[in-house]
Amino acid sequence: MIYLTLNSNNFKETKEFYCTTLSLFKAQSETRLICLAGELILDLDGSCPCAEFGIHIGDKQITILKTLEKTGVVYSFENNIAGDFLELIDPSGNKVGIWAHGGSIK
């Protein structure tokens, strides 16, 4: 299991972003999120610097691009021979990268 302490200016907003908007995490508590795509646990903390991390989801199909557009999340998306690459910034300023095999992110 990999544990990452993640800066959060607003725990409720951060939890909603990762669990609802991205739909890649589930909340274990008010300050702990568990990644559904692997062995990553995010511990939310309001006093640490912003982080930059990535998640590899393999062949798992996720439909997220329309949700990001609808909710106003700024992101960049690239699909090339190496796979799908999605980069975005969460509400607290943490940089998140999501990588998947080609065609898995829609």
Would residue 53 count as lying in a domain?
yes
Phi, psi of 42 (to 5 degrees): -105, 125
Confidence of residue 103 (pLDDT cuts 50, 70, 90): confident
Other Cβ atoms less than 10 A from the Cβ of 61: the count is: 11
For the stretch 3-46, pLDDT in tens is 999 999 999 999 999 999 999 999 999 999 999 988 899 999 99
Would residue 85 count as lying in a domain?
yes
Query: Cα torsion at 33, 18, 31, 29 (round to 10°)?
Result: -60
Would residue 18 count as lying in a domain?
yes
Would residue 95 count as lying in a domain?
yes
Q: Is the pTM of this model over 0.85?
A: yes
Would residue 106 count as lying in a domain?
no
Would residue 46 count as lying in a domain?
yes
Would residue 14 count as lying in a domain?
yes
Number of structural domains, the chain? 1
For residue 56, what are the domain limits? Answer: 2-100
Would residue 105 count as lying in a domain?
no
CATH at residue 82? 3.10.180.10
For the stretch 34-91, pLDDT in tens is 999 888 999 999 999 999 999 999 888 999 999 999 999 999 999 999 999 999 999 9
Sheet architecture: strand order including 25-27: 2-7, 40-45, 32-35, 25-27
